[in-house]
Homo-oligomer: A and B are copies of this chain.
């Protein structure tokens, strides 16, 4: 069970863009919703700012370090499956050859051609194992050196995103002005961010813009309602 998002190599968005999107999506949304929710229940910008910054610290570490460890786990999962396939090509070559034949037959090759193809592949054991990893197990080789950069990018993007909704609470008084400022600033940021994200993904930037803003708004509304109910 790979725990990190599967990266489609042939897609145009780079891995760094993907990491920034992952971190900033949550960074813009959750601290925004938390601050808005608290501002409706507790009349102290100090509390809202303290809670917001504590959330940013917790969220960025959970996403960054959690993601780093998950990526390492994926790399180990790959390595252990690779070792198993490698051992199987030595210990049970006939079964493993039949598995290659099966993959080809599934795609409509006649038994004769499938067997010829399988025999061509098994001539180079490294290639054979590689074929099994990709086509039988559907596993892509993870890039272990990226785990650290990726974790750091996600964490920093979370922090950068999270500071946007909090900024008005630093500068605007009273609380109501800060809340209004945060809502306007964050909705604008979510729309712009969603638009850019949408251009990198399905090329429907406008829909991505309003959907991203909608998730943030609903999260903030729910946090606001719950905080109001308790306080």
Residues in chain A within 8 A of chain B (CB atoms): 1-11, 13, 17-18, 21, 25-26, 29-30, 32-34, 37-38, 41-42, 46-47, 49-51, 53-55, 57-59, 61-63, 65-66, 69, 73, 76-77, 80, 104, 107-110, 113-114, 116-117, 120-121, 123-124, 127, 130-131, 135-140, 200-202, 204, 208, 211, 214-216, 218-220, 222-227, 230-231
> Is B80 in contact with A138, judged by CB distance below 8 angstroms?
no
- Chain B residues positioned under 8 Å from A77 (CB to CB): 201-202
- Number of this chain's copies in the assembly equals 2
> Is B1 in contact with A2, judged by CB distance below 8 angstroms?
no
> Is B58 in contact with A30, judged by CB distance below 8 angstroms?
yes
- Chain B residues positioned under 8 Å from A1 (CB to CB): 7-8, 11, 13, 17-18, 200-201
Distance between Cα atoms of A200 and B3 in the complex (Å): 11
Taking A3-B201, A42-B47 as given, write out 15 further A-B residue pairs in contact, using a Cβ cutoff of 8 Å, ordered by the A residue number: A1-B8, A2-B5, A6-B6, A10-B137, A30-B55, A38-B50, A41-B54, A46-B230, A53-B230, A65-B215, A66-B215, A80-B202, A104-B117, A113-B113, A113-B117
Most chain B beta-carbon neighbours within 10 Å: one of A30, A69, A114, A204: A30
Measured CB to CB, the nearest residue on chain B to A32 is B58
Contact of A62 among B8, B26, B46, B110 (CB under 8 A): B26
> Is A211 in contact with B69, judged by CB distance below 8 angstroms?
yes
> Is A124 in contact with B108, judged by CB distance below 8 angstroms?
yes
Distance between Cα atoms of A212 and B117 in the complex (Å): 45
